[in-house]
Every structure is written in C-alpha cells, then in structure tokens.
Amino acid sequence: MGFAELSIADIAAEYHLPVEQVFQLCDRLGVSYKDQQTNLALEDAKAIISLILSRQSGSGSLVF
C-alpha cells in the first residue's frame, strides 16, 4: 500500500473540517494514526475523502 502525501490536518483543511472530525472518521474506518500530522496510506486517504464527499453531497452538512 502506498502513502498519500496527505496528513489528517491536510484533509481537515482541504474540506474545512475540524481535525477532531477527521479523527472520528479515522476511528470509524479503522485507520490508525498518531496525531494530526500522520501521513495516511493512499487507500485510507481515499476512503476518508470519499466518506466526506458522500456526506457533504448527501445531506449538505456533515454529521458524524
């Protein structure tokens, strides 16, 4: 599995979310992390971003 050049903090900033919400998504998906600077595996980053996008388009707001 390759690594994305994206950290949890990067994803939070890109999608205008608090870092804590991205942590919650990681926990929900079983993605391990150390802190907000953790670089994510490519497949993990894709899964998190996909979930964010599906929730944003589905309801207009994110509820975790």
| Segment 13-36, tens digit of pLDDT | 999 999 999 999 999 999 999 999
Task: Kindly state whether residue 48 falls inside one of the protein's structural domains.
Answer: yes
Give me the number of domains the chain comprises.
1
Share of the chain above pLDDT 90, in %: 77
> Residue 2 — very low, low, confident or very high, per pLDDT cuts 50/70/90?
confident
Lowest mean pLDDT among 6-15, 38-47, 54-63: 54-63
Q: How far apart are CA 32 and CA 36, in angstroms?
A: 11
Task: Kindly state whether residue 31 falls inside one of the protein's structural domains.
Answer: yes
Answer whether residue 1 shows pLDDT above 70: no
Q: For all residues of the chain together, what is the average pLDDT?
A: 90
Tell me the HSE value of 6 on the side-chain side, using a 13 A CA sphere.
Answer: 20
Task: Kindly state whether residue 6 falls inside one of the protein's structural domains.
Answer: no
